[in-house]
Amino acid sequence: MAAIILAVVLCVLSVPGGLGQTFPTGCAYDSTDASVGVYNCDFTAITPPLAYSAFSSPYPQRLRIYKVSGTITSGGLFSGFSSFSTADFDSNYVASLEIECVSNTDTTFEAGAFTDMGYLQGVTIKNCKIPTIAANAFSELNVLNYFRIEGGSIAALDSASFAGLNISKLSVPDPSGDFTIKNCATPGTFPANMLDHLTVTKKFDFNNIGLTEVTTSTFSLNKAVTSIALSNNAITALADNVFSGLDGLSTVDMTGLQWACTCEALWFLETFTTAGIDIVGGPVCSTPTDYTDKRSTAYYSALCSTSDVCSGTPGIAVGSSCMTIYQLVSYSVLLITLVLSCVALGLVCNTRKQLSSNKNKLKNKKNTSWNKVQDALKRGGNTGQKPPGKTTAPKGKGWV
């Protein structure tokens, strides 16, 4: 029995995330879903700053801090995490931090709030009521696979709020390269140049943030972007060059947008199709009245559709099909050939008819001449000549 108990204890100790973890007061270790579990820390129960040295077996590769509120000052929340080496990572998981705030309570992140956290690969901030995001608030995070603000609100943004933060599609599990602010109340517009430094970011997700405007400069420097989500916002129109220069863009999510529909305002329907950009959802018309709450494509098809069925190839549109210039030339040559063939056939038939008529006339003339000869011989009297026995003119020349 003792041997069995010892074996069980040894098995438990050998399981990753089993016994042996150490962590600060106010934190707990949850290994129910993975071999490298999550350290959950109650902000109201910990004594900040959290010390990296207080965590072991495993290291805090996945860290969640909840019930956060107040002002997070420079160096006020984390200490010593710069010692976390990527060599200690479990490659099956992203090195991640999730901060979840107390609802309806102000939380402010000052510049330097994430000092020592440059090892992170993904950061999520949830349900935080943020009065303002100061310049360089996230600069210590360096390069992330994703940065996400979900829920809550942001009362004010600065053009340098995210300066120093870079988002790239890293070689990690579930590589994404996304910068996300969603389901979060914002001022409705972004400060000029706020996103300019995110030159290698692949995805921007701004779903349901009260956005009212996207200008021609909003994404002008985000040349690597492949996907932009503007869904469920208050945008009613986009300038026709708002995505100019974004040659890698393949998807734009416009679900839930209420559009002031005009042919000019729906420029993107044809432009995106030509460029191979998929429109997810697509806006519905808020105006005119006849098309309220109807898909913008219905309006465009009925009143604006001027799609080039020839796709730029010289030709003539015939209904929904295209007759190219090359087909026109081929058909024209065929028609001309047919006409010429008919004319040639007519000439041959006419010539043959004339030849046959002339032959008959010649034959009749010969026969007439021969008959005259016979008649003359018959009337010849006493000469003693007899008319030829043949009744038809002899063949040969001289009887014409």
Tens place of pLDDT for every residue, the chain, 400 residues?
Answer: 444 443 433 344 333 344 578 999 999 999 887 667 899 999 999 999 999 999 998 899 999 999 999 999 998 999 999 999 988 899 999 999 999 999 999 999 999 999 999 999 999 999 999 999 999 999 999 999 999 999 999 999 999 999 999 999 999 999 999 999 999 999 999 999 999 999 999 999 999 999 999 999 999 999 999 999 999 999 999 999 999 999 999 999 999 999 999 999 999 999 999 999 999 998 999 999 999 999 999 999 999 976 566 766 777 766 557 778 878 888 889 899 999 999 999 888 888 888 877 777 777 777 777 677 667 777 765 555 566 665 565 665 555 5
Residue 10 lies in a domain: no
Q: Which of 159, 217, 150, 228 is nearest to 184 (CA)?
A: 150
How do beta strands 315-318 and 321-324 pair? antiparallel
Q: What pLDDT is recorded for position 391?
A: 58
Q: Which H or E run includes 352?
A: helix 325-378
CB 47 within 8 A of CB 26: yes
Residue 77 lies in a domain: yes
Q: What pLDDT is recorded for position 206?
A: 99
Give the pair of three-digit tokens for residue 78. 């984390």
For residue 34, the enclosing domain spans: 27-185
Residue 269 lies in a domain: no
Task: Give, rounded to a whole angstrom, the gap between the first and last alpha carbons of the chain.
Answer: 143
Angle between helices 296-303 and 267-275 (to 10 degrees): 100
CB 226 within 8 A of CB 248: yes
* Rounded distance between C-alpha atoms, residue 41 and residue 399, angstroms: 132
Residues near 321 by beta carbon (within 8 Å), at least 6 away in sequence: 309
CB 24 within 8 A of CB 53: no
Per DSSP, the residues of 258-276 read: EEE--TTTTHHHHHHHHHT
Q: What pLDDT is recorded for position 381?
A: 54
What are the distances in angstroms from CA 99 to CA 35, 63, 147? 22, 9, 12
By CB atoms closer than 10 A (0-12, 13-18, 19+), residue 400 is exposed
Q: What pLDDT is recorded for position 57?
A: 86
Residue 96 lies in a domain: yes
CB 165 within 8 A of CB 187: no
pTM, rounded to two decimals: 0.73
Residue 125 lies in a domain: yes
Q: What pLDDT is recorded for position 355?
A: 80
* Rounded distance between C-alpha atoms, residue 22 and residue 94, angstroms: 21
* Rounded distance between C-alpha atoms, residue 174 and residue 22, angstroms: 29
Residues near 348 by beta carbon (within 8 Å), at least 6 away in sequence: none
Residue 332 lies in a domain: no
- Buried/exposed 232-255: b ≥16 CB within 10 Å, e otherwise: bbebbbbeeebbeebeebeebbbb
Strand partners, 143: 166
Q: What pLDDT is recorded for position 357?
A: 77
Residue 240 lies in a domain: no
Residues near 34 by beta carbon (within 8 Å), at least 6 away in sequence: 17, 62, 92, 93
Total number of domains constituting the chain? 1
Q: Which H or E run includes 285?
A: strand 284-287
* Rounded distance between C-alpha atoms, residue 8 and residue 99, angstroms: 37
Residue 315 lies in a domain: no
How do beta strands 27-30 and 315-318 pair? unpaired
